[in-house]
Structure 1
Amino acid sequence: MARSLKKGPFADRHLLDKVRAMNRQGEKKIIRTWSRRSTIFPDMVGHTIAVYDGRKHVPVYVTENMVGHKLGEFAPTRSYRGMRGGRAGERVTRVGGR
């Protein structure tokens, strides 16, 4: 379900303060955050934000196409390792001809 338009987008205050301070100083350092719920604002374009995925911080370079999305969308929390075991369609042959 989409967020109500009368509420507007949400971003954690501490994250916006860091981005705006870096914009004023003209810096482009990596910002580490645990705020996956924050919406990407136009002020964040061009910055690299390291978003926590539960195990490590995943660097996310923010582009114009990402504005309006959440930071957590670009740092997946689950890693798919494929099917475990033998290859599909492979038959096991026994020694001895049975």
Structure 2
Amino acid sequence: MPRRSIWKGSFVDAFLLKMRNKRENLSSRKIWSRRSSVLPEFVDRFVQIYNGKTFVRCKITEGKVGHKFGEFAPARKRKPSRTDIGPGRKGKR
């Protein structure tokens, strides 16, 4: 489901369009633009997406077309669940 209006099209950063037009090898390409949409030309390629700290290697499949690159490189760590929270917890009160 696109979030932008149809007449505008999906947002893709300029350097990604240049990469697409040059037909460069995307496997060695690092992508900082998390807001850019995945285009069908990127299918079956590996890219490295920046998550704010490191690069996350990701394979682009047909199911990812139309989504944003940032969706596939989580930028925040998950907190481990704490089992001692709640009314039955033991310890200091």
TM-score, L = length of structure 2: 0.78
Alpha-carbon distance in structure 2 between the residues aligned to 1:57 and 1:28: 14
Q: CA deviation at 1:47?
A: 1.2
- Structure 1 stretches of 5 or more lacking a match? 93-98
Whichever residue aligns with residue 7 of structure 1, its letter is: K
Computing the radius of gyration from Cα coordinates, the structure with the larger value is 1
For residues 77 and 32 of structure 1, the distance between their equivalents in structure 2, rounded to whole angstroms, comes to 16
Deviates more, 1:75-84 or 1:5-14: 75-84
Higher mean displacement: 8-17 or 64-73: 8-17
Task: Classify the secondary structure of the residue corresponding to 1:60.
Answer: strand
Alpha-carbon shift at residue 31 of structure 1 (Å): 1.2
- Contact (CA 8 Å) 2:26, 2:47: kept in 1 or not? no
Identical counterparts, % of pairs: 37
Aligned length: 88
Q: Mind listing any 5+ residue stretches in structure 2 that lack a counterpart?
A: none
- What is the RMSD of the two structures over their aligned residues, measured on CA atoms? 2.3
Query: TM-score with structure 1 length normalisation?
Result: 0.75
CA distance in 2 between counterparts of 1:21 and 1:57 reads 23
